[in-house]
Amino acid sequence: MAIRINYAKAAPGAVHAMRGLEEYIHKSGLEPSLLELVKMRASQINGCAFCLDMHSKDARAAGETEQRLYLLNAWREAEQFYTERERAALAWTEALTLVSETEVPDEVYSEARQQFDEQELVNLSVAIIAINGWNRLSVAFRAEAGTYQPRGTGGQHE
């Protein structure tokens, strides 16, 4: 599929604002490995090839295992590979990403609150909101998957 619009060139101010949100998230104190899993899971749900390519590369560069990345789509059945905190974050990610279908169930909220304090849960929610935004931009405008290189290798980064 051909790129429809290079959204970064068409609206650099919008991308700058989104990158500001990313900067806040990265300074929030949430574990980088947890954030990459959340970004991967939301991107799987949204079918965002560009973001899946990006975040799988970033996760690997940060030391994530291939096995955990391969099993992420089936994390409930492979729970031994993910911590309780990661599982709560993944359930929260799915509920927020599919909010029109799930309405964020009380059980998912309770699980998340057992693992995250109020500030952490708000910050996690903002991270989920951000990746869903990136997914929607990349899917709508058909960002090209496969071109991304992790930081330090000269590639673009969200």
Residue 83, pLDDT score: 98
Mean pLDDT by 10 residues, the chain (158 residues): 92 97 97 97 97 96 96 97 98 98 97 98 98 97 91 50
Cα–Cα distance for residue pair 102/60, rounded to 1 Å = 31
The DSSP secondary-structure symbol of 72 reads G
Taken in order of first residue, the domains within the chain and their CATH numbers are 11-140 (1.20.1290.10)
Structure tokens at 89: 């974050």
Cα–Cα distance for residue pair 40/47, rounded to 1 Å = 10
Cα–Cα distance for residue pair 44/122, rounded to 1 Å = 22
Residue 23, pLDDT score: 97
Q: What is the pTM of this model?
A: 0.92
Spatial neighbors of 3 by CB under 8 A, at least 6 apart, are 141, 142, 143, 144
Residue 157, pLDDT score: 44
φ, ψ dihedrals at 146, nearest 5°: 100, -10
